[in-house]
Structure 1
Amino acid sequence: MSNPSDDGLAGFGYKQELERTLGNFHTFAAGISYISILTGTFQLFYFGFSFGGPAYWWSWPMVFVGQLMVALSFAELAAHYPVAGSIYNWSKRLGSPHVAWLAGWMMLTASIVSIAAVALAYQITLPQISSFFSFSGDSAVNAVILGTALIVFTTLVNAWGVKLMARINSAGVFIELIAAVLLIVALAVNITRGPEVVMETNNTGADQPWGYFGAFLVASLASTYVMYGFDTASSLGEESHDPRKNAPKAILRALIASFVIGGLILILALMAVGDINNPEIATGGLQFIVLDVLGSTIGTIFLLAVVIAITVCNLAVQSAAIRMMFAMGRDNNLPAGKHLARVSPKTKTPVIPAIVSGVIAVLILVVNVGQPQIFTVITSIGIIMIYLAYLLVTVPMLVKRFRGQWPPPKVEGTKYFSLGKLGLPVNILGVLWGGAIVVNLAWPRREVYNATEPYHWYLEWGAVLFVGAVAVVGFAYYWFVLRHKSGVLADHAAEVHPEEAAQ
């Protein structure tokens, strides 16, 4: 039988190389810091409000219900397959190697883009705290300077080892949660109107061909851009204690906690702001509301908490990218896979993926200097690719269910999270939701992908073109080069007896 310390990892064909040091809160913190409510709401509130008015708030529960269907399916998968690079490995065991590679490729590319995108959030917050952080009069250049500093920090921490990453991440999440609760209380005692404010549209559908429904679909992207990444809790499965039990709980707790806390912050901010028709809300977002309602001193303290949330969010996003790169590398499914899968004997961490992901993210940031619209397109597309990667898991899972091949056989004596008879309808809803949200995200809208001059058709259609290019070029490389030598590298393979093989 396999060594109990590897939690059945040998059954998946791998030997235990990463260090199992993470507990319940660490895995929960990884999931919730990737979602990062303070980062997402403060970064994107202005977008939702400007396109949908206060009624955009309804997109928050809508996205939560859809993502909950996905998260419930992921919780079942996390119990059966607690392996690094969760999306890639789940897809590999549910579908074909080709589908799995595409899922991993999409998720990896999107995660690296997300590192750069999250780092840009420093520019939205730090200069409002102090002019010290305005190193350049050009906001795009300043954003790159601040973002690069953050990426260098998270790269060093992730390269140093999972223990340091987990400690900083957990401390940051603890501060973020305390700050979020205090912000909810502070906004609640300063409300000036009732919750009916979320029924106001501010006439935002006037210029939309589908009326307010069209405006709401655009505004809902603000919530769609936030509520994902909960699978990170399982991506750390090879570094967690008892991941079959803890990862499913961490996934669901991270999503539910984010929904409750974020939803309260958003609605109370709308109820507390002095003038709901103030045009600065559509540009300054939650930062403006917090300073308007709480004053500069208290408001600045909360903005500092947002900075901490951005920092640990970037730490978690890069950590997930590193595990994905490691997982695909040890299967020889990336160029230089042998080097990407190498685990430092000192830090017990894949150091090269940390450096590679950090360098590429900084290079992506530099694009923002001359072509900020292109960066907006790339950022949005990165999120589309994450939702596509999710579909490349939920669709094969649904196929397995229809064929009567789910759930797979269980390890004797192990309790698994299970949806039982609800599994099929939940899985179907998750697939329908994923398909609908990808269409809404990728729909060619000038106001999203080419909001200011100069107008270019290729920017407006950027989502379709870029995602298509990433998928086609990446898969062509896999098909003609990588698939011929794909397979677990000898240095990472474990000897597996037939009776131990994971189903």
Structure 2
Amino acid sequence: MTVPAPRAHPGTAPGAGSETGDLGRFGYGQQLHRSVGPFASFAAGFSFVSILTTVFQLFGLGFSFGGAGFFWTWPTVFAGQLLVALCFAELAARYPISGAVFQWSSRLAGTDVGWITGWVMVVGQVLTVATAAIALQAVLPSIWSGFQVIGGPGADPSPTSSTGAQNAVVLGVALLVVTTAVNVIGVRLMALLTSAGVVIEILGVAALVIALFGHAERSPAVVATTTGAAEGPYLSLWLASSLMAAYVMVGFDSAGELSEETRAPRATTPRTILRALVVSGIGGALILVGGLIAAPSLTDGTLASQGLASVLTTRLGDVSGRLLLACVAIAVAVCTLAVQTSGSRMVYSMARERAFPFAGVLGRVSVRTGTPVGASVLVGVGAAIALAVNWHQSAVFTALASLCIAMLYLAYLGVTLPLLVRRLRGGLPGGVDEFGRPLFSLGRWGVAVNAVAVVYQVAMVVNLAWPRAAVYDLTGGTWWLRFSALLFIGATVLVGLVLHRRNRARHGGPIVLGALQVGGPARPEPVEEPA
């Protein structure tokens, strides 16, 4: 859906031309290397969502609450997130800048709102990197028992067990060392590995779906039942089970985080944001149905405790099952890489405005690699620290998964709510992309789509942060775990407000976007396109 623009606007592209000149209109020089093409842009969003990683990781948790009927949380969450993605696609076309959520929120509601939105997003992304890395524990020990380093091959590999939780830290930190090194080396390597990983993941999804449907035990009509659900009011259980779908379908905005590294971002990014979510939504739905119809039993507790890995090894045998699990392991690694890349660009975007602690280091781009080295290392170290908490507290796993998604949903709301206000006051500017075509736009549907997206997001934030003992307190008696989402979100916002207030006092006023880069938005200096 597009609408033509009758006039130019300083926030829109002048037509076909240099991305460097376009970026200069926002007050930024081209420091990051533009090495990301359309497929790599799609891969950034798809690998953040990473249905093989996240569905395998939390299928058992979702099923343990809602039974077979938990499948319906998937289309519900997909529909809500599609509305959010449509809003983000419009913004990506108009503001192709790294640190997308921070930049979009700042330009819609001012830099005070934008800063706290970006801060919440950064913390959420760091937690998401940690949670993605944990997913190795749900896969590698099933491929080879030797990956269970803590306690030996005979130990319980479940991420919520003592030995499984500690082993998850070991495997996760090892993965973070690799992903941090890749991010430091350069965006070309990151894009190459992400693209290759996405090809493997898509092929793995296709093979997995065919294998599961080819070993069906029951009809797909099972999704209309509550077989396997826990005891209690089903609506409450179903809402709790939506954690899985909510956890999977985030990160499609990662293509926006790479806007300054993407060729023709105004034309490319909106489409790759939507394509990443749609492909993930279709593939994930097929995997869920396949898992439910191929599981040997829905009532013996195995599916809830061991998830899809048990279905594969049981139905396909050791060799075929382990080959598909190897695809999942690759997806986990690429997912962790993509989330860390996205988080590092957010940190970099805020730091170059002197809006982040240690901005001099975190806002610097390596001349040789064209990457924000300090920001990449910070996100990796922060994720490792979050992982370390899991060492002596195995109950943190499910709490961490729900908490990180609640943070991301809250940050997304910091964009869509100001966007709705902007629409009601007059709407977004028009313009054309790098090829002279009208920018992506929702047109007359914008207000309705945006309003429903905001309502959905508010409902999901409340649902995800609700102090359920079964999600946040697996010990059954630790009050701070049960209320950890509310406590952590409150503490994050409070710390963010204190940091922002100190930053304003230090610099004598609010952040002026782009003013520190190339002379300010009104007078951008010419810069050379990197080779």
TM-score (norm 1): 0.95
CA shift in 2, pair 1:418/1:5, >3 Å: closer
Match of 2:34 among 5, 15, 20: 20
Aligned residues of 2:227 and 2:298 also touching (Cα < 8 A): no
One-letter identity of the residue aligned with 1:461: F
Aligned residues of 1:7 and 1:242 also touching (Cα < 8 A): no
CA shift in 2, pair 1:243/1:201, >3 Å: same
Aligned equivalents of 1:307 and 1:205: distance in 2? 29
Aligned equivalents of 1:483 and 1:364: distance in 2? 30
Deviation at 1:478, TM superposition (A): 0.7
Deviation at 1:124, TM superposition (A): 1.1
Indicate the residue corresponding to 1:200 in structure 2. 225
Indicate the residue corresponding to 1:178 in structure 2. 203
Aligned equivalents of 1:332 and 1:175: distance in 2? 40
Aligned equivalents of 1:347 and 1:98: distance in 2? 32
Deviation at 1:194, TM superposition (A): 1.0
Deviation at 1:398, TM superposition (A): 0.2
CA shift in 2, pair 1:111/1:484, >3 Å: same
Pairing 1:236-247 to 2, within 5 Å after superposition: 236-247=258-269
Write out per-residue CA displacement over residues 136-159 of structure 1, whole angstroms, 9 at most, x where no aligned residue. Answer: 112222111111110000000000
CA shift in 2, pair 1:358/1:206, >3 Å: closer
Aligned residues of 2:64 and 2:304 also touching (Cα < 8 A): yes
Indicate the residue corresponding to 2:390 in structure 1. 368
Aligned equivalents of 1:4 and 1:483: distance in 2? 37
Aligned residues of 1:51 and 1:216 also touching (Cα < 8 A): yes
Indicate the residue corresponding to 1:433 in structure 2. 456
Between Structure 1 and Structure 2, the one with more helix by share is: 1
Matched, 1:151 2:165: no
CA shift in 2, pair 1:192/1:411, >3 Å: closer
Deviation at 1:199, TM superposition (A): 1.5
Deviation at 1:206, TM superposition (A): 3.5
| Percent of aligned positions that are identical | 44
CA shift in 2, pair 1:203/1:286, >3 Å: closer
One-letter identity of the residue aligned with 1:246: T
Match of 1:220 among 219, 238, 242: 242
Pairing 1:416-431 to 2, within 5 Å after superposition: 416-431=439-454
Aligned equivalents of 2:199 and 2:137: distance in 1? 23
One-letter identity of the residue aligned with 1:27: S
Indicate the residue corresponding to 2:188 in structure 1. 163
Deviation at 1:4, TM superposition (A): 1.6
Aligned residues of 1:180 and 1:261 also touching (Cα < 8 A): yes
Matched, 1:319 2:341: yes
CA shift in 2, pair 1:270/1:346, >3 Å: same
Write out per-residue CA displacement over residues 60-106 of structure 1, whole angstroms, 9 at most, x where no aligned residue. Answer: 00000000010000000010011001000000110021110011001
Aligned equivalents of 1:441 and 1:183: distance in 2? 29
CA shift in 2, pair 1:144/1:403, >3 Å: same
Deviation at 1:488, TM superposition (A): 5.4
Aligned equivalents of 2:199 and 2:147: distance in 1? 25
Moved more, 488-497 or 261-270: 488-497
Indicate the residue corresponding to 2:371 in structure 1. 349
Match of 1:408 among 429, 436, 440: 429
Structure 1 unmatched ranges of 5 or more: none
Match of 2:58 among 14, 31, 44: 44
Match of 2:293 among 266, 271, 277: 271
Indicate the residue corresponding to 1:64 in structure 2. 78
Deviation at 1:203, TM superposition (A): 6.4
Aligned equivalents of 2:132 and 2:386: distance in 1? 12
Deviation at 1:411, TM superposition (A): 5.2
Aligned equivalents of 1:114 and 1:203: distance in 2? 29
Moved more, 472-481 or 329-338: 472-481
TM-score (norm 2): 0.90
Moved more, 10-19 or 24-33: 10-19
Aligned residues of 2:83 and 2:453 also touching (Cα < 8 A): yes
One-letter identity of the residue aligned with 1:121: A
Aligned residues of 2:124 and 2:407 also touching (Cα < 8 A): yes
Aligned equivalents of 1:95 and 1:325: distance in 2? 20
Match of 1:390 among 403, 412, 416: 412
Aligned residues of 2:355 and 2:503 also touching (Cα < 8 A): no
One-letter identity of the residue aligned with 1:82: P
Look up the SS of the partner of 1:372 in the other structure: coil
Match of 2:317 among 278, 295, 311: 295
Aligned equivalents of 1:264 and 1:181: distance in 2? 9
Deviation at 1:49, TM superposition (A): 0.5
Look up the SS of the partner of 2:339 in the other structure: helix
Aligned equivalents of 1:378 and 1:264: distance in 2? 26
Look up the SS of the partner of 1:335 in the other structure: coil
Deviation at 1:489, TM superposition (A): 7.4
Look up the SS of the partner of 1:139 in the other structure: helix
Look up the SS of the partner of 2:391 in the other structure: helix
Indicate the residue corresponding to 1:132 in structure 2. 146
Deviation at 1:298, TM superposition (A): 0.5
Look up the SS of the partner of 2:97 in the other structure: coil
Structure 2 unmatched ranges of 5 or more: 1-12, 152-162, 526-531
Q: CA RMSD in A?
A: 1.9
Aligned residues of 2:111 and 2:512 also touching (Cα < 8 A): no
Indicate the residue corresponding to 1:73 in structure 2. 87
One-letter identity of the residue aligned with 1:249: R
Write out per-residue CA displacement over residues 212-233 of structure 1, whole angstroms, 9 at most, x where no aligned residue. Answer: 1111001111111110000001
